[in-house]
Chains A and B, each alone.
Chain A
């Protein structure tokens, strides 16, 4: 049987099980609110969201690769395109775009025009330093780490703080070669 080629984000999104967007937004909002009540420090909440995202990402990458059938990406540019077009579409239902490549192709920006996580959300004055969608940066970092890329993901623009789009800056720190867990001579 011939191997199935990579499917576009729209095709996969049409086939996966979906959940009500409002339920998703309200659930995520409840998580953030509970974290704020428990931890009280905005920086701590940011870190927890990133950690939660990391845990999601390391598991999400398997589902992503299984459903989307993408072949091995040749370089980081292709990786970023795949994340933006296929990954975001498949899991969040929105398409992102990739911009701002730097000279050696290791740093780019993923731009999200709309984001289902932040429907109806407004940051009150007490939580001004909060990165509400920090879970997304953790997800990308975790997923890429499972495919041997160590990255650093930060927020360049945040709509809740007054910018007009969401912009994630993804920076490739290094490619970790695959290591076998067993020694050959044992």
Chain B
């Protein structure tokens, strides 16, 4: 089943530090920009919602046509945002948790400045593999 999914990680200063199209559908140029636009528009909602709950996983917070935005907020206010069209809540939660662990490992690298772009190809490969597994 072809799914569209766009995953970005936004730091606490609202700067995107990682983005990836992880859906299994064919990627179209205009769709990618639209996806990023939707995700950024959802940031305001996330900001308000994050303070209302102590859970890290905020489920679906916004909709656009039939695409849903789900967000996971880390303790350092780094937001992992996923735009998708499936309804697989458990899978998405597990996906976020595993990406969070990978992100922690990146943070432990002393040569990585927190808030800068994640350029590690190792991280990229792992995230795409996790996306195939859970989404």
Contacts and interface: CB of A to CB of B under 8 A. Distances in A.
Interface of A: 26, 28-30, 32-33, 36, 119-125, 127
Contacts, number: 30
Given A29-B111, A32-B110, A122-B122, 4 more contacts: A26-B110, A29-B109, A30-B110, A122-B109
A122 B110 contact: no
Nearest to B105: A120
Interface of B: 105, 108-112, 119-120, 122
A124 B112 CA distance: 8
Contacts of B112: 122, 124
A26 B119 contact: no
B106 to A, nearest CB: 8
Contacts of B108: 26, 119-120
Interface of B is mostly: loop
Contact of B111 (A26, A119, A124): A124
B110 A29 contact: yes
A125 B110 CA distance: 14
Nearest to A27: B110
Nearest to B122: A122
Contacts of B120: 122
24 contacts: A26-B108, A26-B110, A29-B109, A29-B110, A30-B110, A32-B110, A32-B111, A33-B111, A36-B111, A119-B108, A120-B108, A120-B109, A121-B109, A121-B110, A121-B111, A122-B111, A122-B112, A122-B120, A122-B122, A123-B111, A124-B111, A124-B112, A124-B119, A127-B111
B104 to A, nearest CB: 9
A26 B105 CA distance: 12
A33 B116 CA distance: 15
